[in-house]
């Protein structure tokens, strides 16, 4: 069991953050062991076919047999929502001694996998080269496996934080942690994390507590080292909705929402068109088309741009989604 001892000031400094780098590392667990979460099988199938020439041996070696991850690869975010490149820049600056220490600690008591053999060498240059190779590999993996899905993932994570903030406002810290995960217990100012490999007690001592909701975490995950500031990655709510196929637009529902004339007009604007051409195709007057376009533009469903004497109208991204073209 790992415990975080939180004083009044630490509770006042309890905060949330998003971390694309944490999600990247935790996704490797699911890639390595599909049994951790059946919800992510659609994502896993799509990713496995796109890894191409990536060094999957080195990538998978980052996850220890006990599913622990090296702490240096999951630095504590200093802002609410850092970018992946910002977080990776922090990792690139980690001293070789810290890289060696964290890799050995994450894999202990097992020996390091062959792909990480250089980390055991008493050679700072070799460890630095390995760290650089890991960072570059993670960047390429992020671009293939997670970056295309990050906007949707972020919506799920922010929805979870909104829910947690309401729990905190209604019932304080006890309610905040009550339904986060069965392995968490809040008791007497101490947050207990049960069923952990580590056995240590961390005094927050004014450092606060950072909470990071995660799409890929299957249980609460504090840092491996007791020297790290209190930080907890926990499973986010709403993950089951993440990989669902987008609903197909119902033409009848669109007509009921916008009216027949505007629904036909929105369906026509997949490509940019001037008012006179729209009127010709719909066999109505340009003035009638203009009135409908003004309403659709005010609602953010179409965009417009001048091209010489004409103003061209086209569906916006929101209009694409509404019309089923997204």
Q: Give domain status of residue 165, yes or no.
A: yes
Per-residue pLDDT at 77 exceeds 90: yes
Nearest to 292 by CA among 268, 322, 321, 318: 268
Give the pLDDT of residue 76.
96
Q: Residue 188 CB: number of other CB atoms within 10 A?
A: 6
- Say yes or no: 33 and 154 in one domain: yes
Q: What is the pLDDT of residues 200-226, one digit of tens each?
A: 999 999 999 999 999 999 999 999 999
Q: What is the mean pLDDT of the chain?
A: 93
- Say yes or no: 158 and 303 in one domain: no
- Say yes or no: 72 and 167 in one domain: yes
Q: Give domain status of residue 63, yes or no.
A: yes
Per-residue pLDDT at 103 exceeds 60: yes
Give the pLDDT of residue 225.
94
Q: What is the CATH number of the domain that holds 289?
A: 1.10.10.10
Work out the average pLDDT over 270-297.
Answer: 91
- Say yes or no: 222 and 265 in one domain: no
Query: By the 8 A CB rule, do 50 and 141 touch?
Result: no
Q: Give domain status of residue 51, yes or no.
A: yes
Query: Residue 127 to residues 60, 106, 241, 260: CA-CA distances in angstroms?
Result: 18, 16, 41, 66
Give the pLDDT of residue 105.
96
Q: In what order do the strands lie in the sheet with 310-315?
A: 273-274, 310-315, 302-307
- Say yes or no: 236 and 131 in one domain: yes
Q: Give domain status of residue 246, yes or no.
A: no
- Say yes or no: 156 and 217 in one domain: yes
In sequence order, the β-bridge partners of residue 303 are 314
Number of domains comprising the chain: 2
Reported pTM: 0.77
Work out the average pLDDT over 19-30.
Answer: 97
Nearest to 150 by CA among 92, 198, 205, 81: 81
- Say yes or no: 208 and 317 in one domain: no
Q: Which one of 216, 241, 266 terminates a domain?
A: 241
Q: Give domain status of residue 16, yes or no.
A: yes
**Gap between the Cα atoms of 298 and 263, Å rounded:** 15
Q: Which domain holds residue 61?
A: 2-241
Give the pLDDT of residue 248.
63
pLDDT band of residue 24 (cuts 50, 70, 90) is very high
Work out the average pLDDT over 112-127.
Answer: 93
Q: Which one of 207, 241, 275 terminates a domain?
A: 241
Q: Residue 106 CB: number of other CB atoms within 10 A?
A: 23
Q: Give domain status of residue 14, yes or no.
A: yes
SS3 content of the chain, % helix, strand, coil (to 5): 50, 15, 35
Per-residue pLDDT at 246 exceeds 60: no
Geometric angle at alpha carbon 321, from 320 and 326, rounded to 5°: 75
pLDDT band of residue 321 (cuts 50, 70, 90) is confident
pLDDT band of residue 244 (cuts 50, 70, 90) is confident
**Pairing relationship of beta strands 210-214 and 15-16 according to DSSP bridges:** parallel
């Amino acid at each position: 069991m790992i415990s975080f001892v939180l004083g009044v000031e630490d509770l006042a400094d309890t905060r949330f953050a998003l971390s694309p780098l944490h999600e990247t590392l935790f996704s490797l667990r699911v890639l390595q062991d599909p049994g951790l979460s059946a919800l992510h099988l659609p994502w896993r199938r799509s990713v496995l076919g796109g890894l191409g020439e990536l060094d999957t041996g080195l990538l998978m070696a980052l996850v220890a047999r006990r599913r622990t991850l090296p702490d240096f690869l999951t630095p504590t975010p200093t802002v609410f929502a850092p970018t992946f490149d910002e977080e990776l820049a922090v990792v690139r600056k980690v001293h070789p001694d810290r890289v060696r220490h964290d890799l050995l600690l994450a894999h202990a008591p097992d020996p390091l996998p062959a792909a990480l053999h250089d980390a055991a060498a008493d050679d700072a240059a070799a460890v630095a080269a390995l760290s650089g190779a890991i960072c570059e590999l993670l960047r390429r993996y992020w671009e293939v496996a997670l970056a295309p899905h990050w906007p949707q993932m972020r919506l799920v994570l922010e929805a979870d934080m909104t829910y947690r903030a309401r729990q905190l406002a209604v019932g304080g810290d006890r309610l905040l942690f009550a339904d986060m995960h069965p392995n968490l217990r809040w008791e007497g100012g101490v947050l207990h994390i049960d069923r952990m490999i580590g056995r240590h007690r961390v005094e927050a001592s004014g450092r606060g507590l950072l909470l990071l909701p995660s799409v890929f975490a299957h249980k609460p995950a504090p840092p491996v080292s007791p020297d790290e500031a209190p930080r907890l990655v926990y499973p986010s709510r709403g993950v089951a909705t993440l990989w669902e196929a987008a609903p197909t637009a119902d033409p009848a529902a669109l007509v009921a929402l916008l009216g027949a004339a505007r629904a036909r007009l929105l369906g026509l604007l997949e490509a940019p068109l001037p008012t006179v051409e729209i009127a010709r195709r719909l066999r109505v007057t340009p003035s009638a088309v203009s009135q409908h376009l003004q309403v659709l533009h005010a609602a953010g469903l179409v965009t417009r741009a001048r091209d010489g004497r004409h103003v061209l109208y086209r569906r916006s991204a929101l209009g694409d989604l509404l019309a089923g073209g997204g």
